[in-house]
Homo-oligomer: A and B are copies of this chain.
Amino acid sequence: MLGRRVKKGVDNEMKALGRHVLSELYGCEFAALNDVERVQKVMVEAALQAGAEVREVAFHKFSPQGVSGVVVISESHLAIHTWPELGYAAVDVFTCGDRVDPWNACRYIVEGFKAGSYSATEYKRGMMEQERKAV
């Protein structure tokens, strides 16, 4: 978090409403990425393990292969799109507030699909100016 003076004599800080982690999973098994029930289970468990509250679940199996799905949580969402034929899955985990850490969900997903390798980057969402609380 960056702190900066925005008004003379008033010490404010910029704070993000949410954290959005985009992750690329490579080297996953075809079967794991093509099983819609398994994909949904991993994503819902990732949300729960990270301490999120699940609100809505929507998953879809494509023909001949591939799964897309989203878990809407009180703290935002988890989404996945799989390319089983490439061993690849695009994952994103968006959480707002300080209670749930998107990286915990991301780690669970990487392990859940036994990814051979992965990359992940966090983006701050909704940077807002907030008055700094007195210490």
Contact = CB atoms under 8 A, between A and B. Distances in A.
A116 interface: no
B20 A88 contact: no
A90 B58 contact: no
Given A58-B58, A59-B56, A76 B68 contact: yes
A105 interface: no
Interface residues of A, number: 34
Interface of A: 17-18, 20, 22, 24, 55-60, 62, 68-70, 72-74, 76-77, 79, 81, 83, 86, 88, 90, 92, 94, 96, 123, 125-128
Given A24-B125, A57-B58, 9 more contacts: A17-B83, A17-B86, A18-B90, A20-B90, A59-B72, A68-B76, A68-B77, A70-B79, A83-B126
